[in-house]
Structure 1
Amino acid sequence: MFGKKKKERTPLKEANEELFLKVVRSLRMVFDPEIPVNVYDLGLIYKIEIDEDNKVYLQITLTTPNCPEAERIPGNIQRAVQETEGVEDVDIELVFDPPWSRESMSTAALLALGLI
């Protein structure tokens, strides 16, 4: 599951946009246990693709490669997306290039952490 690459996926614009929004909502329910911000607004989700069979491909990262929650966060993301209505399957690729940085965070995340 983690790190596997599958066949070419249909780009979002040709896929189900409603399902994309549901996936984003599900991702916003997954929080980094060390930071009170969800993984989507924290900028840990680099790519979301959905193919014509409603299979979701996610490219994700962690705040650091040595993150103490490195085993838990990808599993939590996988479960949340897999449980999203309409999702048939989930494939997650964990990457560290480019490295995560504070610039990846949404304005909402920066506000929640008092950084702006």
Structure 2
Amino acid sequence: MVETNESVADQVIAALQTVVDPELGIDLVNLGLIYGVEMTTNGLVTVKMTLTTMGCPITDVLQQMINSAVLKVPAVEQVKIDLVWEPAWTPHRMSRFAKIALGYHG
């Protein structure tokens, strides 16, 4: 069976939902840190993401966790992380689940 890029993208998003920010205890997707996922036909997945702060002390740890999780998707051969600062992350990007879990009422 040939998988479409859309189904692989869905699998990548599901894999990213297993990557939990160790400081906040919420996954990166629900935190609103994942801005997009693109895949080429040769198995390269680019994860466009941001962080809550520019000086995040666990950037390297998160990148390793992302790499590990996304490489478990069968069609993925390589992972590239595109760390961006525009648009800036705000708590409004979090899912309802994350807001409730973190007690955010803003």
Interval containing the TM-score (normalised by the shorter chain): 0.7 to 0.9
- CA displacement at 1:53 relative to structure 2: 2.5
1:38 aligns with 2:1: no
Segments of structure 2 that go 5 or more residues without pairing to the other structure are none
TM-score in terms of structure 1 length: 0.79
1:92 aligns with 2:81: yes
After superposition, what is the alpha-carbon deviation per residue over 1:42-92, rounded to whole angstroms, capped at 9, x for unaligned? 011111111223321111111101112122111211221112222121111
Higher mean C-alpha displacement, 45-54 vs 60-69: 45-54
Match of 1:20 in 2: 9
1:48 aligns with 2:37: yes
Match of 1:64 in 2: 53
- CA displacement at 1:115 relative to structure 2: 2.2
Distance 1:105 1:52 in 2: 31
Distance 2:18 2:93 in 1: 18
- CA displacement at 1:114 relative to structure 2: 2.4
- CA displacement at 1:99 relative to structure 2: 1.8
After superposition, what is the alpha-carbon deviation per residue over 1:5-48, rounded to whole angstroms, capped at 9, x for unaligned? xxxxxxxxxx5211111111110000111101101110111111
1:103 aligns with 2:72: no
Segments of structure 1 that go 5 or more residues without pairing to the other structure are 1-14
Question: Partner of 2:22: helix, strand, or coil?
Answer: coil
One-letter amino acid of the counterpart of residue 26, structure 2: V
Give the paired residue count. 102
Distance 1:108 1:54 in 2: 31
Distance 1:91 1:71 in 2: 13
RMSD between aligned residues: 1.4
